[in-house]
Amino acid sequence: MKVLLLDELEIICDGLELLLRDFFPVERISHAHHGSIALSKVGKDNYDLVIMDLALEGELDGPRTLKLLREGLPQAKIVVFTMLEDEVHQKHAFLAGADGYLGKKMNGEKIITSIDDVLKGHKIFAEEILYGEWGRTDKKGSPLKLPITKREREVFLYTIQGYSQKEIAEKMNISIRTVENHRQHIGQKLGTNKKRDWMQIAKMYH
C-alpha cells in the first residue's frame, strides 16, 4: 500500500507513519507539508491512501487541496485528520470526496480502527453528516425520526455504511441471527429491504 501524508507539522507525519507501519502492509509512505507539494507527488505516483490535515495555509488551502487530490486520485481512500472537528468542516470534506474524518484527539487504537474501516470501503463521519442533519422536519420544525427502534437504527446505519451482518453482529455484540431479525423488521417498517432504498430514506430523516 502506498500512502501520502499531508500535514504542515513533520512530527504529525512521523507519528502517523510509525502507527501505519505497525498495523498495515505499507510499501511506501511519502510526506508533504503543503498542498502544492502533495499534488506534485500525485503526478508522480498512484497512492492508495491519503491522510491529510484540513487546516493548511498557503496558495492551496485544505478544502481546495482535498478537492484536487480527489480529482487526481479517484480510486484512493482519503482521510482527513485534523483539529477542525466541527460539522461545517466535516460537511465540506464529505462533499469534496473524503472517505473519513478523524480528529487529532483520537487515540492510536481508534485511528487505526477507523482507517481500517475506510480501507474496507466504509465512510467514517459523524452521523449527522452521513445521514442528513439537514433532513425533513414536521410542521413545528422538529426533525422527523425513522419509525424504528434504537437498536434497529444502529443496524440500519451500519448496513448503509456497508458493514456485513457478521461485522454488525461483532460491533453490537449480538448474534448474526439477531441482526437478520432486526433487518427484517426494518424492512417491514420501511416497506423495502433494498440497501439502495435505505440509503435514499436515510437522506430524508435524522
The ranges assigned to domains in the chain are 2-130, 150-204
Residue 68, classed as helix, strand or coil, is helix
Is-contact 4 32, C-beta < 8 A? yes
pLDDT score of 203: 67
pLDDT score of 131: 60
If one counts every other C-beta atom within 10 angstroms of the C-beta of residue 88, the result is 9
If you compute the radius of gyration of the chain from its CA atoms, what whole number of angstroms results? Answer: 19
pLDDT score of 144: 46
Place of cell 502506498: 2
Mean pLDDT by 10 residues, the chain (206 residues): 95 95 94 93 88 88 91 94 88 87 92 93 80 44 64 88 90 93 88 81 65
Q: Outline where the chain has alpha helix (H).
A: 10-23, 35-42, 62-72, 87-96, 108-119, 127-130, 150-160, 165-172, 176-190, 195-204
2-130: CATH homologous superfamily?
Response regulator (3.40.50.2300)
> Is 0.75 surpassed by the pTM of this model?
no
The CATH class that applies to domain 150-204 reads mainly alpha
pLDDT score of 45: 78
d(CA 122, CA 98): 11
